Structure 1
Amino acid sequence: MKILVIHQVPYRKISYHLGIDHDRHDVTYVGRPVSLRQIPGDLRCSRIPLAEHDDLVAGVTARVQPSDGYEKVLSLSEFGILEAVHIRRHLGLPGPSPARVELVRDKVRMKEALAGSGIRHPRFVEAPPACGPLPWSGKTVLKPRSGASSEGVMVLETAREALSAYRKLPDPGSYQLEEHIEGDILHIDGLMQDGRFLELAASRYVNKPVEFAGGLPLGSHQIPLTQAQRDLAREVSFALGVEEGCVHLEAFHTADDELVFLEVANRVGGAGVVTAHERYSGVHLPSHEIAVRLGLERPPSAEPSGRYHGWLAFPGHHLPAGTAEVTLPEGLADHPCVDRLYVLPPDRPLPGHITYQEWECPVFIEASHTDAEELGRFLRACANGITVVSGTRVPAELGSAA
């Protein structure tokens, strides 16, 4: 099979070679030079570099043609799945429509599609009235209609404040307003094929994604999967027409035990989700998703650990430029819950952007326990007990960690 891979997610997060036999198939990677350099040098494949500032669709379609004979286009990034629709059309290949993909990219369209489904979601408006209030008065979330990592998300104390902030935006049409829901946030991660889940696991966040953007650590730990969580994942996927690939769904869990849909993506979750799921279930989600999307045999699974797994990431983008000065609780590296502990080397600068990558964060912990609640308590203690500050300043031209 001749496969075109739009390579955007770091190679070490996907490990394409686990899902594709590169000796058997003709694989071409297209991407920015920095992404192509991540591909193992001994991997049998072709590489097509894009110019650093090329528009993704224009850059790819200028370099590949229908006569090249590609049979599949693979894109696993949040910021490439809609673009892949246009690239497939350029190559004359079948695939989902733009309208279908927008349901898992556009946070307005996905909630509109849930109308009449019985699935509760926050009240929202695509664009507020020119004058007059929102349909609610309390705490309000102003966020981009598309995107990831809570970049650009603001939580305002009142609807009036949110309206004022919305009207000051340079591009308000790319944002939406929704009521704030009180409760913990869960993420439910799975893999679908032919409209049914092959894999599914639930996790509870430690802190909230929007707080990571503001400078607090973020983590999550797996919890026992309930029937209500299974039903929510199945019903949302059905309502949005998701039939294959990974699903990363977020939902509020309120004090009265209600699940309220937040948003969903048709891709694998970021941060420590892949590693946690693989250790918990034995299934490496990216390679299994690749097999499903390409119609290949799924790779073998490992033995489940018999433990609940989680992760905790500390941000550095909010700190002044410099290196990280990290203070860890004594004995943390040898704690029985800790599977791996990453600390940014003292000669590496703090990241200048929001990142959950373990090799870029000042501190990143992978942890596990046989009891989900004990694991949660441990990660929350780490979130409160570890400090990260900016140390010696480094020249701006050194950039962020690679």
Structure 2
Amino acid sequence: MKILVIHQVPYRKMSYHLGLDHDRHEVTYIGYPQRMADLPAELRCRRIELTEGEDLVEGVTARVSPRDGFEKLLSLSEFGILQAWHIRRHLGLAGPSLEQIERVRDKVSMKQALADSGIRHPRFEPAPAPCDALPWTGRTVIKPRQGASSEGVTLHDTAREALTAYWKLDDRLDFQLEEYIDGDILHIDGLVSDGTPGDLVVSRYINKPVEYLDGHVIASHQIPDPHGRFRHFAEQVVKALEIESGCVHLELFETAEGELVFLEIANRMGGAGVVNAHLGHTGVHLPSHEIAIRLGLERPAPAEPSGRYHGWLVVPGHHLGTRGHTITVPEAVRQHPAIDALHVLAPEQPLPDHITYHEWLVPVFIEASHADAGELAAFFRECARTITVEPAPAGG
């Protein structure tokens, strides 16, 4: 099979070689210089490098054509799904429709598609008129209609304050207003094949993704789903949004009363430590299985599950500036039996200047597991309480 890969996600996150036989198939990678540089030198493939800063769709379509004979296109990035639609049209390849893509990329379209499904979701307003009031009065979120990692999200104490902030935005049409839902945030990760979700794993966040923007630690740990309540919710969402294939990363609220409320969904694998946690708990390597599903290949045999609940914790550094820093990880954390991997930024490495969850860029990243989900959660809370990152004094 002749395959074109739009290479946007770091190779160490995708490990394409685990799911794609490069000796059996004719694989071409195309992408920007920084990303292409992380392809393993020994990987058998053709490589096409774009010019830094050029439009991805224009760059790809200028370099490949239907005459090249590509049979499949792989684009597994959150940000490449829409671009891939244009490139598939250029190459004459089948794939999801623009409407299907919007339902998993645009946070307004996905909630509109749930309108008659019976699935509760936050009330929202994509384009209020200048004199309109919102149909709720309390805490309100302004968030981009598209995007990931909670970038651009702001929280306001009242609907009136949110509207005032909304009208000050120059690019307000790219944003929506949404009522704040009070509750824990969970995420469900798995795979969809022929419209049927499977290999679903439920995890609960410690702190919320939006709090990570302000410098709070975020963690996630898997939890049991003995009665299938969360799995059933995910199945309903996948069916309502007509997701046909690939990874899904579904985020939802669980209120104090136990009600489940849809937050958003992405038709790609989750970030941070989701892939390794999922692999440990289920034996399923999400990227490899997604590649097989999207290419119509036989899925790899899963590894042996660990029999434990897995999770991850990230200590941010983007809010501290890039100058020197001091990281303190207590010895009790370093030696804890739940620890599977501990990544600590080297003193000579600068703190990240942007929001990231990559373990090789953040000050501290922990992967851990335990036979008891509650014990794992308690360990992560202790980590969040005791691990510190202090920037060097100005002028120091």
Common fold by TM > 0.5: yes
Which amino acid is 2:183 matched to? Answer: G
Matched, 1:304 2:338: no
Taking the TM superposition and a 5 Å limit, the aligned residue runs for 1:148-227 are 148-225=148-225, 226-227=227-228
Matched, 1:25 2:25: yes
Q: Structure 1 pair 24/338, CA: closer, same or farther in 2 (3 Å)?
A: same
Structure 2: distance between partners of 1:132 and 1:361 = 42
User: Following TM superposition, by how much is the alpha carbon of 1:323 offset from its aligned partner in structure 2, in angstroms?
Assistant: 2.9
Which amino acid is 1:238 matched to? Answer: K
Which amino acid is 2:256 matched to? Answer: A
Q: 226-235 or 83-92, which moves further after superposition?
A: 226-235
Which amino acid is 1:371 matched to? Answer: D
8 Å CA contact retained: 1:343, 1:362: yes
8 Å CA contact retained: 1:321, 1:394: no
Structure 1: distance between partners of 2:29 and 2:197 = 29
Q: Structure 1 pair 326/287, CA: closer, same or farther in 2 (3 Å)?
A: same
Structure 2: distance between partners of 1:132 and 1:347 = 52
Structure 2: distance between partners of 1:76 and 1:368 = 27
Structure 1: distance between partners of 2:114 and 2:57 = 30
8 Å CA contact retained: 1:4, 1:29: yes
The match for 1:331 is: 332
Q: 8-17 or 295-304, which moves further after superposition?
A: 295-304
The match for 1:365 is: 366
Give runs of ≥4 in structure 1 deviating > 6 Å. Answer: 392-395
The match for 2:87 is: 87
Which amino acid is 2:133 matched to? Answer: P
8 Å CA contact retained: 1:29, 1:47: yes
8 Å CA contact retained: 2:197, 2:238: no
Structure 1: distance between partners of 2:254 and 2:330 = 31
8 Å CA contact retained: 2:283, 2:304: yes
Deviations 1:159-190 (A, max 9, x none): 01100110000100000000000000000001
Taking the TM superposition and a 5 Å limit, the aligned residue runs for 1:247-258 are 247-258=248-259
Which amino acid is 2:255 matched to? Answer: T
User: Following TM superposition, by how much is the alpha carbon of 1:316 offset from its aligned partner in structure 2, in angstroms?
Assistant: 0.7
Which amino acid is 1:266 matched to? Answer: N
8 Å CA contact retained: 1:246, 1:268: yes
Secondary structure of the residue aligned to 1:93 is coil
The match for 1:400 is: none
Structure 2: distance between partners of 1:374 and 1:324 = 31
Structure 2: distance between partners of 1:283 and 1:77 = 19
Taking the TM superposition and a 5 Å limit, the aligned residue runs for 1:221-370 are 221-225=221-225, 226-370=227-371
Structure 1: distance between partners of 2:144 and 2:228 = 31
Structure 1: distance between partners of 2:211 and 2:205 = 11
8 Å CA contact retained: 1:186, 1:251: yes
User: Following TM superposition, by how much is the alpha carbon of 1:331 offset from its aligned partner in structure 2, in angstroms?
Assistant: 2.8
TM-score, normalised to structure 2's length? 0.98
User: Following TM superposition, by how much is the alpha carbon of 1:337 offset from its aligned partner in structure 2, in angstroms?
Assistant: 1.1
8 Å CA contact retained: 2:28, 2:47: yes
Secondary structure of the residue aligned to 2:105 is coil
Structure 2: distance between partners of 1:301 and 1:172 = 45
- Extract unaligned runs of 5+ from structure 1: 396-402
8 Å CA contact retained: 1:322, 1:394: no
User: Following TM superposition, by how much is the alpha carbon of 1:392 offset from its aligned partner in structure 2, in angstroms?
Assistant: 6.8
The match for 1:4 is: 4
Structure 1: distance between partners of 2:212 and 2:134 = 27
8 Å CA contact retained: 1:195, 1:238: yes
The match for 1:140 is: 140
Structure 2: distance between partners of 1:100 and 1:292 = 17
Q: Structure 1 pair 303/145, CA: closer, same or farther in 2 (3 Å)?
A: same
Q: Structure 1 pair 46/176, CA: closer, same or farther in 2 (3 Å)?
A: same
- Extract unaligned runs of 5+ from structure 2: none
Q: 51-60 or 2-11, which moves further after superposition?
A: 51-60
The match for 1:109 is: 109
Identity of aligned residues (%): 64
Deviations 1:207-243 (A, max 9, x none): 0000001110111000002422111111111111101
User: Following TM superposition, by how much is the alpha carbon of 1:390 offset from its aligned partner in structure 2, in angstroms?
Assistant: 1.4
The match for 1:398 is: none
Secondary structure of the residue aligned to 1:239 is helix
TM-score, normalised to structure 1's length? 0.97
8 Å CA contact retained: 1:88, 1:95: yes
Which amino acid is 1:235 matched to? Answer: Q
Aligned residues: 395
User: Following TM superposition, by how much is the alpha carbon of 1:394 offset from its aligned partner in structure 2, in angstroms?
Assistant: 10
User: Following TM superposition, by how much is the alpha carbon of 1:324 offset from its aligned partner in structure 2, in angstroms?
Assistant: 2.9
Which amino acid is 2:387 matched to? Answer: I
Query: CA RMSD of the aligned region, Å?
Result: 1.2
